[in-house]
Amino acid sequence: MERKEIAKFIDHTQLSACATESDIKKLCEEAVKYGFASCCVNPVYVPFAAEILRGSGVKVCTVIGFPLGANSIDDKASQAAMCVSEGADEVDMVVNLGAVKDRRWEDVFEEIYAVRCAIDDVDCGENKKIVEKVILETCYLTDEEIVTVCEKAKEAGADFVKTSTGFGTGGASVHAVELMRKAVGKDMGVKASGGIRTFEDAVAMLDAGANRLGCSAGVKIVEG
């Protein structure tokens, strides 16, 4: 694969607590220039990014319950709906890790399903389907927990499972991506995110089964 071909798999990401409007503007301009799949920004910047990216073909992605996942189901659902109403095309929600550790699988299912329903209920005016990605934060989970969360995400109607927020103790790994791909099968997306800084890192994740990459180093990966 050529470097420039990898751009279409990348969610170009800026989730810093100190990100400014100029940072987001630069992110969006780079995404258009290189043909990245989306720009991933914090919820407060969704309207700003949506205005810049309108008509470009680059999607607006945002994060829900980020980065801890320790919000109520109602909070996650309402935040997701608000972001979609303001222009988000994709929402990456952090799963409730405490519920996972407690093996409260019905609660895990319910929050993913609640977000799915909330974003589906927003009238986007274009009959478009909003993409839901479920962030597992795999560095904290056992293989069994990873597989079960993937199964619950698939059952709840999510479109992708995602490895990491990038704010945990570890990012994406080939092992986790392979495990997630096996768990969800070929008809659901797998997003590798966290610690993907080089072209070689990106290719390794795609080879392992990812079909989307969350990167803050997208330009470096494409340009070398």
Q: Fill in the DSSP letter of residue 196.
A: -
Q: Is 9 helix (H, G, I), strand (E, B) or coil?
A: helix
Active-site pick, 59, 76, 133, 162: 162
What's the rounded Cα separation, in Å, for the pair 34 and 6? 10
Active-site pick, 11, 89, 92, 159: 92
What's the rounded Cα separation, in Å, for the pair 129 and 118? 12
Structure tokens at 63: 């994060």
205 Rama class: left (phi>0) / alpha (psi -120 to 50) / beta:
alpha
Helices (runs of H) and strands (runs of E) counted in the chain: 9, 8
What's the rounded Cα separation, in Å, for the pair 202 and 206? 6
**162 catalytically annotated:** yes
**182 catalytically annotated:** no
**Residues 14 and 43 sit within 8 Å (Cβ to Cβ):** no
Q: Is 26 helix (H, G, I), strand (E, B) or coil?
A: helix
Antiparallel, parallel or unpaired: β 189-193 and 212-215: parallel
What's the rounded Cα separation, in Å, for the pair 149 and 140? 13
What is the CB neighbour count within 10 angstroms for residue 188? Answer: 17
Amino acid (1-letter code) at residue 109 = F
**89 catalytically annotated:** no
Catalytic positions, please? 92, 162, 191
